[in-house]
Amino acid sequence: MMQRPVQVTYRGLTSSPAIDDAIQKRADKLEQLELGVTAVDVVVSMPSHHHRKGNFVHVRVDLEVHGKRVVTDREPEKKIEHKDVYLAIRDAFDAAERRVHNLHARMRAPRRWAGPRRPEGGDISTEAEASTGGMEWSQRSTG
């Protein structure tokens, strides 16, 4: 559940209720997936006026998920579709959703133990440590 409302910042273009609504719908979709998103900050900007290529819209989505920051920052010049603000919003939120899914996959993945750390020289100092690999094992009495 989101702990604060979606924050939208505009740079280089005027704010629009229709754009705000599109961003809010995408943020609501993220919330419905129950991925632990607690905050959404979106920056919609038109960095500069490209006379030959036209004006591209740049959308940056910053999410807070389980106390971690997930940032999606797309390069608008790489996709011709990003002349349309709604397509740029769609692509940025799709990428943010993929990143959140990847974060969850990494958090759920089993941890692997690499073994005991060796001293700088790599030598094991005692025979007992050599036989146990530097680990201390406790014996459980059964009976």
For 59-102, the pLDDT digits (tens) are: 999 998 888 888 888 665 566 666 788 988 999 999 999 988 88
Question: In 103-138, which positions are buried (b, 16+ CB within 10 angstroms) versus exposed (e)?
Answer: beeeeeeeeeeeeeeeeeeeebeeeebeeeebeeee
Asked whether residue 51 is domain-assigned, the answer is yes
No. of helices (H) and no. of strands (E), the chain: 3, 4
How far apart CA 16 and CA 31 sit, in angstroms, is 23
Asked whether residue 98 is domain-assigned, the answer is yes
Q: Which domain holds residue 55?
A: 7-108
Asked whether residue 94 is domain-assigned, the answer is yes
| Pairing state between β 37-45 and 7-11 | parallel
Asked whether residue 138 is domain-assigned, the answer is no
**Could you tell me the pTM of the whole model?**
0.68
How far is residue 41 from each of residues 35, 66, 75, 78, measured CA to CA in Å?
16, 15, 18, 23
The domain tally of the chain equals 1
H-run or E-run covering 83: none
pLDDT tens-digit readout, 95-142? 999 988 888 777 776 666 666 666 665 555 555 555 555 455 444 545
Asked whether residue 143 is domain-assigned, the answer is no
